Chains A and B, each alone.
Chain A
Amino acid sequence: MTPYLRLFRREVRLAFRQGGEIGLALGFFVLAVVLFPLGVGPEAEILRRIGAGIVWVAALLAAVLSLDRLFAADHADGGLDLLALSAMPLEGAVVAKCAAHWATTGLPLAILSPLLGLLVGLDARSIALLAVGLLLGTPALSLLGAIAAALTLGARRPGVLSSLIVLPLYLPVLIFGAGAVEAGIAGGGARPHLLLLGAFSLGALPLAPIAAAAALRQALD
């Protein structure tokens, strides 16, 4: 366990120390949400109706924006080669990196989301559903994002490319995440949506690192 924990701690420490990268993603998240009331108009009724979707879309975009942090720097300075050579399986290293990525993007996004829920006029129950949904769904964002980040290592314009690759894969998370809040507003049960979100993250946990590690090995060839 120790090498994984050590890698996790290193990643988190780097994220905190490298010039406010966490703040950058969070700032983008808040700004993207704030744009919508200015764009569609400040009527509380409309905002309440689409609020959850807005927050989820903004979370997706913020997650995509932070993907290049996963492997690019380590690829550039050779750290990734050392990781691949270490006794730790590359899949495990990917899991540790994803966990750190989630702890520094998905988790802060989920913690910040109640505030944004208030901004778009959601009620208390919807806000709770939004935050829980983000907590359950964002691990899948980090894990699937790792595949795209690994595939686009060394590509021309990797940022645009990885968003093109990964956003179609993110759709189920968006659908069930926003669907949970919507079902809560409509009076139905939000439970199935949340369960599916959790299932999606749990399914991505063993599968995505395998694909991401395969992509990393090719990038290092």
Chain B
Amino acid sequence: MLTRLANPARFMRLSGTVLPPLALATVVVLAIGLYLALFVAPPDYQQGESVRIMFVHVPAAWMALFAYLVVAVASAVALVWRHPLAEIAAQAAAPLGAAFTFVCLVSGSLWGKPMWGTWWAWDARMTSVLVLFFLYLGYMALVNAFDDMSRGARAGSVLALVGVVNLPIIKFSVDWWNTLHQADSVFRMGGPTIDPSMLWPLLIMGLGYLLLFKTLLLVRMRTALNEAKARALRLAAPQRLSTAPPLPEPEPVLR
């Protein structure tokens, strides 16, 4: 599977067929999830209507972690097997993860103001998510800091693997340090403690976010491949100019 997908042309073909249904599913699931979260789910007995922020915040936090896991696994694959698409996948996933982390931080802050009475607290989980955001930024800055793009990609891979230490810290920070942020209520030993009427919209939103991530990841990977192709064509063009007058049209970018 991994080696079959290593051929960029085959990847473009496959992803081209997968992408439209995937995008459609994303829209449908997110629409259902948002409807359930904003209109059907009951207001919380303590938090009132503000609990609806949770349906945006929690899946964003899941995806922030998941996207980093994708970056890290893709980086490991790139370092070990020199898989040509793995580096592209890692680089495509990083800005998405940073965006999810940003959404998570902002929505958490908007929720925290009415609930905790503060926009921000230096609580263990919030701080570690903020560190995750900086890890994403550092990764993206490092990847783009070299004139030789492949050197940037490999340096980024090592950094992504170093940053993995932060993932368990974020996941378990609320259990280890009993600070402001509430403990996990969905993925915990002994089943979720959240009420089913809120759990289902939350899970559907989570699925919607996951689909959104996959759609955008494929779009970004395809764009990166097309850009690489366009760059190669541009580099090859002057040589053709110098040889023969009837110029063949440059190959159309892969679809």
Q: Give chain A's interface residues, CB within 8 Å of chain B.
A: 147, 151-152, 154-158, 161, 164-165, 167-169, 171, 211, 214-215, 218-219, 221
Contact = CB atoms under 8 A, between A and B. Distances in A.
Contact of A215 (B127, B138, B158): B158
Q: Which 6 pairs show the lowest CB-CB distances between chains A and B? A: A155-B145, A165-B138, A168-B134, A218-B154, A151-B155, A168-B131
Most buried by B among A152, A158, A161, A168: A168
Contact of B159 (A151, A158, A221): A151
A152 B156 CA distance: 10
Interface residues of B, number: 23
A152 B137 CA distance: 15
Interface string B196-240: 000000000000000000000000000000000000000000000
A218 B146 CA distance: 13
A106 B148 CA distance: 34
B72 to A, nearest CB: 13
B141 A161 contact: yes
A165 B147 contact: no
The A contact surface, by secondary structure, is helix
A171 B147 CA distance: 30
Contacts of B154: 218
A216 to B, nearest CB: 10
Interface in B144-179: 145-148, 151-152, 154-155, 158-159, 161-163, 166
A215 B155 contact: yes
Contacts of B158: 147, 151, 211, 214-215, 218
B41 interface: no
Nearest to A208: B162
B135 interface: yes
A165 B146 contact: no
B151 A165 contact: no
A185 to B, nearest CB: 18
Contacts of A165: 138, 141-142, 159
B169 to A, nearest CB: 8
Contacts of B135: 168
A158 B155 CA distance: 13
Given A164-B137, A168-B134, A211-B162, A156 B146 contact: yes
Contacts of A167: 134
Contacts of B79: 214
A208 to B, nearest CB: 8
A98 to B, nearest CB: 15
Contacts of A157: 145
A218 B155 contact: yes
A168 B159 CA distance: 12
B151 to A, nearest CB: 7
A50 to B, nearest CB: 14
Contacts of B162: 147, 169, 211
Contact of A164 (B134, B155, B163): B134
A157 B146 CA distance: 10
A154 B151 contact: yes
B77 to A, nearest CB: 15
Kindly name the residue among A155, A215, A219 whose own CB sees the greatest number of chain B CB atoms within 10 A.
A155
